[in-house]
Chain A
Amino acid sequence: MNSNTSFRRLAILLTILSIVSGGMYAAWSYMQSFQYLTVKQEPASTTGTTISIIQENSKEVVASSISPGETIKIKKGSYRVRFTGNSYREEVIEVTLDSKPETITITPSYTSKKLSETLHSERSAIREAIDKKFPGATQSYTIEPGKLYMLGEWYGTKLYVKQSPEQARTNYVDIFRLVLKKEGSTWRVITDPPQLILSSVVHPEIPREVLVDVNKNPEPST
């Protein structure tokens, strides 16, 4: 009788222990299935923009609007972090959350349309900055209209020696690349002197996408 009671007690104890440890394991596994993701944005302040996080496989939106710099805890897996906004170029960053927390950085850029519109109003100030830095260059060199990049604070263009149309048909000239940056309300030449190829090693401060685009050779005319 006594032995039966003891056995029953032991069985109950073991059952409780198994349930508790099973529950703890399930809770631990559940906690382990999550990971931290920090989404940074540089520059942090943009107006009318949204950052959302979408699950790669299910396409389920796990966070519809998160603030720059925010850290969220979501299930491990693959996600797409999507940056959208009026006049902003959509940016999608793929990230896989696994054993360690991840941090991604969004660098907002305006759409080409918005940048072209902005360039229109900045053109004379840019040309003035180039003239001031390289006096006489506008007389000897053709300066391409160029492009604005990112949030309109970067400008890149190409310069080549002026030629008559006849010369241009047969004579190749070197193409020089030039990048300017708007600091406050002033445009400043960053790549002085202009170079045939601008390097990210020499100019780590210039966003790579600006350098890659400015360094592109013009398409051969057919």
Chain B
Amino acid sequence: MHSSSSGRKKLFITLAGITILLLIFMGVLQLTQRRGKVRINVYKMPSFATVSVNGQSSSDTLYVSPGKLTLTVSADGFESVEKELEVSGGSNHVIEEFISLTPQSDDALEWVNSNAAAYQSFEQKAQQSYQTESEEMASRYPIIQDLPYRGDLYNIEYSLDNDEFRIQIEADGPLERQVAIERIKSMGYEPSDYYVEFLHFDNPFTSRNEALGSE
């Protein structure tokens, strides 16, 4: 009787040990798999919509390697949304995507009407997320507070595409481009610190290199 109880105890301890070891192993495996990857949280409306990445079904939280990917959110009766993302950054980087689908069928429209409060709350969350992101961006790139600048001869705007910040200058001629740069300096910013892109401008050296097949 006593030896049977002791045997059960040993079996229990062994099983518990194996379970703990397995859990630790799975945790380490998961951490290794996520290493160097970027987390994307997809918030979607309607909540039953499905998420796919590069055509493959995915969960709402995904870990991806830096690079380009296509995120698709779709649901029956709703217009699908497809987003091209260029993911950059380290393992601490988290991207939040709020995607709300537009109803197309009568059933979908009825679902939206009966879930108006949920839709409203979703929009508020998306707005909050956007605001937080904008504030973070303003602290990282203070020039945002002074842009866009729209003048008679040139416009200075900015783009923020997948964490890549660019100052965009739209000007018709060389003088206007130079004056736009001086304008940025007069705002108290050093153009060298930013990626400055000139819209509708062809760099003759790029085309020359392409023509010559330069390395």
Contacts and interface: CB of A to CB of B under 8 A. Distances in A.
A199 B209 contact: no
Contact of A134 (B165, B191, B201, B205): B205
Interface string A178-219: 000000000000001111111111100000100110010100
Interface in B144-203: 165, 173-175, 177-178, 181-182, 190-196, 198, 201, 203
Contact of B181 (A135, A192, A194, A217): A217
Contact of B198 (A134, A196, A201): A196
Given A135-B212, A172-B175, A176-B205, A208 B192 contact: yes
A148 interface: no
B177 A174 contact: yes
B209 A193 contact: yes
A197 B191 contact: yes
A133 B208 CA distance: 11
Q: Which one of A197, A199, A212 has the highest number of Cβ atoms from chain B below 10 Å of its Cβ?
A: A197
B206 A197 contact: no
A50 to B, nearest CB: 31
Nearest to A174: B174
A175 interface: yes
A197 B209 contact: no
Given A211-B192, A212-B192, A193 B203 contact: yes
B170 to A, nearest CB: 13
A213 B100 CA distance: 48
A72 interface: no
A179 B189 CA distance: 22
Nearest to A195: B203
A215 B192 contact: yes
A193 B196 contact: no
Contacts, number: 64
A134 B177 CA distance: 24
Which of B165, B182, B192, B203 has its CB near the most chain A CB atoms (within 10 A)? B192
Contacts of B174: 172-175
Contact of A192 (B173, B196, B209): B209
Contacts of A198: 192
Contact of B208 (A134, A174, A202, A217): A134
A201 B174 CA distance: 23
Contacts of A201: 165, 193-195
Nearest to B193: A200
Interface in A126-183: 133-137, 172-176
A212 B174 CA distance: 19
A34 B166 CA distance: 45
Contacts of B178: 172, 175, 217
A109 B50 CA distance: 59
The 10 closest A-B pairs by CB, nearest first: A193-B205, A172-B175, A211-B192, A197-B196, A174-B174, A172-B174, A201-B195, A199-B195, A212-B192, A193-B206
Interface of B: 165, 173-175, 177-178, 181-182, 190-196, 198, 201, 203, 205-206, 208-209, 212, 214
Interface of A: 133-137, 172-176, 192-202, 208, 211-212, 215, 217
Given A194-B203, A199-B196, A200-B193, 16 more contacts: A134-B205, A134-B208, A137-B208, A172-B173, A172-B174, A173-B174, A192-B209, A193-B208, A193-B209, A196-B196, A196-B198, A196-B203, A197-B196, A201-B165, A211-B192, A217-B182
27 contacts: A133-B214, A134-B205, A134-B208, A172-B175, A174-B174, A174-B177, A176-B205, A193-B203, A193-B205, A193-B209, A194-B205, A195-B203, A196-B177, A196-B203, A197-B192, A199-B192, A201-B165, A201-B193, A201-B194, A201-B195, A211-B192, A212-B190, A215-B181, A215-B191, A215-B192, A217-B178, A217-B181
